[in-house]
Amino acid sequence: MTFQRELKEKWRVEYTEMGFPAVQKGWVLPVERWRDFDPFILMAEDWFKKGTFPDHPHRGFQTVTYVVDGRLEHIDNAGGREILEPGDVQYMNAGWSARHAEDGVEDDIAHTLQLWLNLPKDQKQSGTLYQNVYQEDAPVISFGGGSVKVFSGNIAGVTGPLDSIVPITLTEWTMGEGASYTMSLPENHNAFVYVLAGEAEIGVERQKMSKHEAGLLTFRENGEEDSTLTIRSKKRRTKVLVYSGKPIREEIVPHGPFVMNSMEEIMQAFEDFRNGKFGPPAV
């Protein structure tokens, strides 16, 4: 019998007002619970203006940034420079030595969700790379009253273009009132949902979630089959993001802009940055 995903727990995201040019921050996935979210480390929801995240380094993990509203300019020290708009997603493999800047554009307030995704120990020295997935490039599955946009993973035979080192599923569900959809996920993927707008019912038990609520789903870590997840919309405009990934189950040390396997490796990362081993600034 197919394993049906249910809501294991949910929580409302709390927000903190920040000093200019930052505006507001909330922790969708708090870093202190990374073992529960593995392979995900944290997810931050930020509202910010130009000048909040200037040139800075990263090592040992990946990011998946979803632009909710406003415009986000990405600049890296390998010559990359792009502007992402609402509904666009950027993937970064920091690997051993990423250095970049993330900024609002002109007077925009950029509203983003940035997910930190762990790298296995044997991949933490991998090369840095970036991939942009613009909303128009992500395939869409349409159904009565709504649609699912597939950024990453394979849903109903539709494969998203985002190609992360640690395979994940990332889908955006947009539904009208009364719409319902069921999709498959590998049952050994840890998964969570975040409601961006409206109100949804999760699973066959139809547990309610509303805007600014996140929820961890049940899963079978040793499973080898597919599971199903059903989401129903209870409002005229409901938008839900669903993320999933297979746990890595390695001890990590998240500290500042680095995620390594020991504090000694963290200290080495800071030393390497001070000694210029991350390359020139992003300009």
Mean pLDDT of successive 10-residue stretches along the chain, which has 283 residues:
96 95 96 98 97 96 98 96 98 98 95 98 97 97 97 96 96 98 97 98 98 98 95 97 98 98 98 97 90
Give 156-161 contacts, CB < 8 A, sequence gap 24+.
156/183, 156/184, 160/133, 161/133, 161/137
Q: Which uninterrupted H or E stretch holds 232? A: strand 226-233
Q: Which uninterrupted H or E stretch holds 114? A: strand 110-118
Query: Tens digit of pLDDT for each residue in 140-182?
Result: 999 999 999 999 999 999 999 999 999 999 999 999 999 999 9
Rounded CA separation 259/149 (Å): 30
Return the pLDDT at 183. Answer: 96
Return the pLDDT at 283. Answer: 81
**Mean pLDDT rounded to a whole number for the chain:** 97
The burial class, CB within 10 Å (0-12 / 13-18 / 19+), for 83 is middle
Whole-model pTM: value is: 0.97
Other residues' Cβ atoms within 10 Å of the Cβ of residue 187: 22
Rounded CA separation 151/170 (Å): 5
